[in-house]
A and B are shown apart, each in its own frame.
Chain A
Amino acid sequence: MADGDFLGGVELISPVEFAKGKIQAVQDYALLSVQSVTNLFKKPLYIADFIQQADSIGVGSLTITVLTGLSVGGALALNSASTLGRFGALSLIAQLVSIGMVREIGPVFTGLMVAGRNASGMASEIGSMRVTEQIDAMRALGTDPMKKLVTPRVAATVFMLFFLTILADLLGLVGGSIVARVMYGLDWHQYWTTSWQILAYSDVLMGLIKPLLFGFIIATIGCYYGLTAQGGTQGVGRATTQAVVASGILILVVDFFLTRLLMTMLGYR
């Protein structure tokens, strides 16, 4: 490797080469992201692949979404109750669970869980195709892998994560209501009425915009690491790990800035 050296089996790369590599990676990722969207408006459209991916990503992630929603909603109710109980305001549990789940925890947790399952799946599947020359074969057979592999996965993840998040929000409220009723004796009707009334249009909007962006991050990161995998099965394993870590971190970082941006745009104080 140019400007590189080995020291006791550890590869040394000059800072310039390292920086060049990182810039190149960002550029490649940006190109993949743009193409994944622009390909939606170019023929051929791989509708069957989209449906297959939607089934794999959406239906396949139902179990983890249900469990995540119920558990997180219940835990949120427990934590809220321990604080609110000191002020005799247990009736506010529903409001905290509702706002917390819909605006923040539902989208982020669902995004992280789907990233763990699907970014890794995409990276390993596409990575395996890459190291066994199947991607080259696809190009050689006249098919654009960006259209055939990337765009259907991105579209399906964005589409399905949107609905998975709504489901997680709802199940979070269900989890919270079970804890509130069984452990703290709150009335069902009061819980559901309060949690519904506290939600403003802007809360719901914020909670529904986030999964669109998180879905895009999960699929583009998974596909990017898959398409750039090299070095046999070890390389595929590395790509899979990197895809999960990168998509998870990116979801959390983007969530912070997006929350701030949406709060400004939607008039939160």
Chain B
Amino acid sequence: MPSTLLMDDANRSHANSSNQAIIFEDVRLEFADKAVLDNVSFSLPRGQTKAIFGATGSGKSTILKLTLGLFKPDAGRILVMGEDVTAMSENDLFELRRKIGIVFQESALFDSLTVRDNVAYRLVEEGKIGDEEIDRRVHEALSFVELEHTVDMFPSELSGGMRRRVGIARAIITKPEVLLYDSPTGGLDPVTSTTIIELLVKQRDVFGTSSLLVTHRLQDAFIMATHRFDRDTGHMQPLPTGSKSHVPMSFLILREGKVIFDGDAIELVKTDNPYIRRFLA
């Protein structure tokens, strides 16, 4: 097995945790006596985006929920910005979660609230700033996803792609240090998918946010690995040939709850793992 197929847990456990946004150490989780995650270990350096792939039921979304402390693992340790979420109480987790943004698979917008109230939810809950400042921040977040005109609409009035973008606006409004994306392009048409991916690239390159991206669409992650956001044009641009290594992007592939690949795009395309080759085909 090539050395790039990061099965070397010892190296990872010695990684300098202060440079890591997220660290999973031998995490195991079972549901109904079936292992959903089996000794999963990986780390996400600060400022990097890691795309997580795998077949349905391979435990991708579970990783995000474990990161937020929504589930507790049966074994292992999870560090998020240096804090061990596996040892924290629910009350302490609420504090930590305020530093993390998440975009859910189906957006999970509150259907009884307007777009404005959805995006402002976290700020209103914190109660630290006034209505004017909240409105300014909501406008800023909605401008980022180019949906300022939807501010008074309800989620049921939006298309699937617009709901995902509002979900992104809700996730980024507090400028979190870590962002978690759960299949943000799932079920969307290619044009809308590209719009979403461009927003993710923008968030990564403009704000340097560390993020985990769960997706079924390998092409989305490859776009992220081969593009940079250009502030001048306001759009992402392909990198010149040979400069892929400068993009803070890596890949993690799961199979039946186990990590079978952890590396960058170049290592991924060179891998000889038959399962991954089939995935890439």
A interface residues, Cβ below 8 angstroms from B: 1-2, 44, 128-129, 132-134, 136-144
**A92 to chain B: closest CB distance in Å?**
51
Which residue of A1, A136, A144 contacts B94 across the interface (Cβ within 8 Å)? A144
**A31 to chain B: closest CB distance in Å?**
12
- Tell whether, in the assembled complex, residue A2 and residue B32 are in contact, meaning their CB atoms are under 8 Å apart: yes
Which residue of A1, A2, A132, A141 contacts B121 across the interface (Cβ within 8 Å)? A141
- Tell whether, in the assembled complex, residue A133 and residue B106 are in contact, meaning their CB atoms are under 8 Å apart: yes
Chain B residue contacts of A2, Cβ below 8 A: 32-33
**A93 to chain B: closest CB distance in Å?**
48
- Tell whether, in the assembled complex, residue A139 and residue B97 are in contact, meaning their CB atoms are under 8 Å apart: yes
24 contacts between A and B (CB under 8 A): A1-B32, A128-B111, A129-B110, A132-B111, A133-B106, A134-B109, A136-B104, A136-B108, A137-B102, A137-B108, A139-B70, A139-B94, A139-B97, A140-B70, A140-B100, A140-B104, A141-B97, A141-B121, A142-B97, A142-B122, A142-B126, A143-B94, A144-B90, A144-B91
Q: Measured between alpha carbons, how far is A140 from B8 in the docked complex, in Å?
A: 32
Q: Does B125 contact A (CB under 8 A)?
A: yes
- Tell whether, in the assembled complex, residue A141 and residue B125 are in contact, meaning their CB atoms are under 8 Å apart: yes
Chain A residue contacts of B90, Cβ below 8 A: 144
Q: Measured between alpha carbons, how far is A132 from B108 in the docked complex, in Å?
A: 6
**B131 to chain A: closest CB distance in Å?**
14
B interface residues, Cβ below 8 angstroms from A: 32-33, 65, 68, 70, 90-91, 94-95, 97-98, 100, 102, 104-106, 108-111, 121-122, 125-127, 170
Chain B residue contacts of A139, Cβ below 8 A: 68, 70, 94, 97
Chain B residue contacts of A44, Cβ below 8 A: 125, 127
Chain A residue contacts of B91, Cβ below 8 A: 144
- Tell whether, in the assembled complex, residue B97 and residue A140 are in contact, meaning their CB atoms are under 8 Å apart: yes
Chain A residue contacts of B111, Cβ below 8 A: 128, 132, 134
**A147 to chain B: closest CB distance in Å?**
10
Known: A141-B97, A143-B94. A136 touches B125 (CB 8 A): no
Chain B residue contacts of A138, Cβ below 8 A: 110
Identify the 3 closest CB pairs spanning chains A and B, nearest first.
A137-B108, A133-B108, A142-B98
Residue from A134, A138, A142 having most chain B Cβ neighbours under 10 A: A142
Q: Measured between alpha carbons, how far is A141 from B122 in the docked complex, in Å?
A: 6
Given contacts A137-B102, A140-B68, 18 further A-B contacts (CB under 8 A): A2-B32, A44-B125, A132-B106, A133-B106, A133-B108, A134-B111, A136-B70, A136-B104, A136-B108, A137-B108, A137-B109, A141-B97, A141-B98, A141-B122, A142-B122, A142-B126, A143-B121, A144-B91
**A233 to chain B: closest CB distance in Å?**
14
Which residue of B has the minimal Cβ distance to A125?
Answer: B112
**B209 to chain A: closest CB distance in Å?**
16
**B195 to chain A: closest CB distance in Å?**
22
- Tell whether, in the assembled complex, residue B102 and residue A140 are in contact, meaning their CB atoms are under 8 Å apart: yes
- Tell whether, in the assembled complex, residue B110 and residue A137 are in contact, meaning their CB atoms are under 8 Å apart: yes
**B3 to chain A: closest CB distance in Å?**
36
Chain B residue contacts of A1, Cβ below 8 A: 32
Residue from B65, B95, B105 having most chain A Cβ neighbours under 10 A: B65
- Tell whether, in the assembled complex, residue B97 and residue A136 are in contact, meaning their CB atoms are under 8 Å apart: no
Q: Measured between alpha carbons, how far is A44 from B128 in the docked complex, in Å?
A: 13
Which residue of B33, B65, B94 contacts A142 across the interface (Cβ within 8 Å)? B94
Q: Measured between alpha carbons, how far is A117 from B97 in the docked complex, in Å?
A: 35
Chain A residue contacts of B170, Cβ below 8 A: 141
Q: Measured between alpha carbons, how far is A10 from B98 in the docked complex, in Å?
A: 44
Chain A residue contacts of B33, Cβ below 8 A: 2
Residue from B70, B97, B102, B108 having most chain A Cβ neighbours under 10 A: B108
**B89 to chain A: closest CB distance in Å?**
11
Chain B residue contacts of A128, Cβ below 8 A: 111
Chain B residue contacts of A142, Cβ below 8 A: 94-95, 97-98, 122, 125-126
Q: Measured between alpha carbons, how far is A134 from B155 in the docked complex, in Å?
A: 12
Q: Measured between alpha carbons, how far is A143 from B125 in the docked complex, in Å?
A: 7
Residue from A128, A136, A140, A143 having most chain B Cβ neighbours under 10 A: A140
Q: Measured between alpha carbons, how far is A69 from B113 in the docked complex, in Å?
A: 36
Q: Measured between alpha carbons, how far is A40 from B240 in the docked complex, in Å?
A: 59
Q: Measured between alpha carbons, how far is A137 from B118 in the docked complex, in Å?
A: 11
- Tell whether, in the assembled complex, residue A133 and residue B105 are in contact, meaning their CB atoms are under 8 Å apart: yes
- Tell whether, in the assembled complex, residue A134 and residue B108 are in contact, meaning their CB atoms are under 8 Å apart: yes
Q: Measured between alpha carbons, how far is A44 from B127 in the docked complex, in Å?
A: 10
Chain B residue contacts of A136, Cβ below 8 A: 65, 70, 104, 108
- Tell whether, in the assembled complex, residue B125 and residue A137 are in contact, meaning their CB atoms are under 8 Å apart: no
Q: Measured between alpha carbons, how far is A109 from B202 in the docked complex, in Å?
A: 60
